[in-house]
């Protein structure tokens, strides 16, 4: 997206800093104008820099600026401070939001990964004994979640069956030749319990 990712820290290089200031200040004024126009709201921006003894402001007209400031002044302190922020507070807020977002995505990633592991187990590509303690715990959680979902689905389907006039006999003979999950994890003697690839006629 950007050509060069700028590090969010004070720019030591004098020339760069001045150039950056000029560009970004211009950008802020433009954005302020857009916000003010699109949403039809009063806005004031005041910038005080080392490059100009006079503050640079938006809106540029003295009268418009005066109006906004007057409106601000007329407010009780309570209203002013309710949504007032300085740098420390603002950055902290951003940190908090980003952290929460991050945790949420990480959690979803874990679930997605565990789901793959679950499918792996069913396919026989791996087994619980291959997994570490934490993975087992997470896998258990994902399986439980999935079972809950299945229960809900079963409930819904049973309700629908009950309400429909024809009684449907669930197809118990899953003798289709399509692949079946094989939850492999025991010694060979247990395999038959799981192996649905054989027909159910046994």
Contacts to another protein from residues 29-68, by CB under 8 A: 31-32, 34-35, 37-50, 53-55, 57, 68
Rounded Cα gap, residues 14 and 10, in angstroms: 10
Asked if residue 173 lies in contact with residue 200, where contact means CB atoms within 8 angstroms, the answer is: yes
- Distance of closest approach, residue 61 Cβ to another protein, in angstroms: 15
- Residue of the chain from 88, 162, 163, 164 that contacts another protein (CB under 8 A): 88
- Residue of the chain from 60, 61, 152, 175 that contacts another protein (CB under 8 A): 152
Q: Interface with another protein includes 159 (CB under 8 A)?
A: no
Cis amide bond preceding 59, omega within 30: yes
Q: What binding mask, one character per residue, do residues 110-149 give for another protein by CB under 8 A, x or -?
A: x-xxxxx-xxxxxxxxxxxxxxxxxxxx-xx--xx-xx-x
Helix (H) or strand (E) holding 36: helix 14-39
Asked if residue 181 lies in contact with residue 196, where contact means CB atoms within 8 angstroms, the answer is: yes
- Distance of closest approach, residue 145 Cβ to another protein, in angstroms: 10
- Distance of closest approach, residue 5 Cβ to another protein, in angstroms: 10
In Å, how far are 78, 142, 158, 170, 172 from 162, measured between CA atoms?
61, 30, 6, 13, 18
> Judged by CB, which is closer to another protein: 61, or 123?
123
Q: Interface with another protein includes 175 (CB under 8 A)?
A: no
């Amino acid at each position: 997206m950007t050509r060069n990712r700028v590090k969010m820290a004070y720019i030591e290089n004098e020339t760069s800093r001045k150039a950056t200031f000029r560009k970004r200040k211009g950008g802020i004024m433009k954005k302020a104008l857009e916000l003010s126009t699109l949403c039809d709201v009063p806005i004031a921006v005041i910038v005080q820099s080392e490059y100009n003894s006079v503050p640079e402001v938006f809106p540029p007209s003295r009268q418009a600026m005066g109006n906004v400031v007057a409106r601000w002044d007329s407010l009780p302190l309570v209203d002013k401070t309710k949504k007032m922020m300085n740098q420390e507070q603002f950055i902290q807020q951003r940190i908090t939001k980003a952290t929460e977002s991050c945790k949420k995505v990480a959690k979803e990633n874990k679930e997605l990964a565990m789901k793959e592991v679950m499918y792996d187990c069913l396919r026989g590509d791996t087994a619980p004994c291959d997994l570490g303690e934490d993975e087992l715990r997470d896998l258990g959680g994902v399986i439980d979640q999935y079972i809950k979902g299945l229960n809900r689905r079963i409930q819904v389907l049973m309700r629908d069956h009950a309400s429909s006039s024809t009684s449907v006999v669930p197809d118990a003979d899953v003798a289709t030749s399509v692949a079946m999950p094989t939850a492999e994890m025991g010694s060979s003697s247990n395999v038959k319990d799981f192996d649905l690839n054989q027909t159910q006629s046994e």
